[in-house]
Amino acid sequence: MAVLRALFSAWIPALVEMARRFCRRWRLHGDRRVDQKGSRAHCVPIDHPAFCRPDPLIYDQYYLIGLGLAVTWDNPDIEVLRGGVPVPAGKLQADTDYEVRVRVWNASMDAVVVKMPVHLSYM
């Protein structure tokens, strides 16, 4: 009889209180609204290239003119070399192999550029 009295006086109310707390906690987490990100989590890692990507560029006369800045028409980011010596654009010869050296800048402040492929073409 003492065992039953101990169960009813202490254990059962404790189990009922524990079940109430569990249900209350379950409701709180279940009612959490889905925010604009479409996730219930507060921090959602975004793994999409549009959010953090490199921004490669070279010297652009038209962009700088649009900003009202002075420009030079000899692009400082493109250099034509023959035997390691720079060759002026007016002195290029037909049927001659040249080395073209291009400096590509990264305008992005948060995305690094490591081994990014660069494709060159000419007209």
DSSP for 41-81 reads SS------TTTS---EE---HHHHHHTT----SS-TTEEEE
Domain ranges of the chain: 1-34, 56-106
Q: Would you call 86 helix, strand, or coil by DSSP?
A: strand
pLDDT in tens, 23-43: 877 776 655 554 454 556 666
Comparing CA positions, the residue from 52, 73, 54 lying closest to residue 64 is 73
Average pLDDT over residues 5-23: 77
Rounded Cα gap, residues 78 and 87, in angstroms = 11
**CA neighbor of 77 nearest in space, from 120, 34, 39:** 120
Length of the chain: 123
- For residue range 50-87, list pLDDT tens digits in order: 667 777 778 888 888 899 988 887 788 889 999 999 99
Residue 13 has pLDDT above 70, yes or no: yes
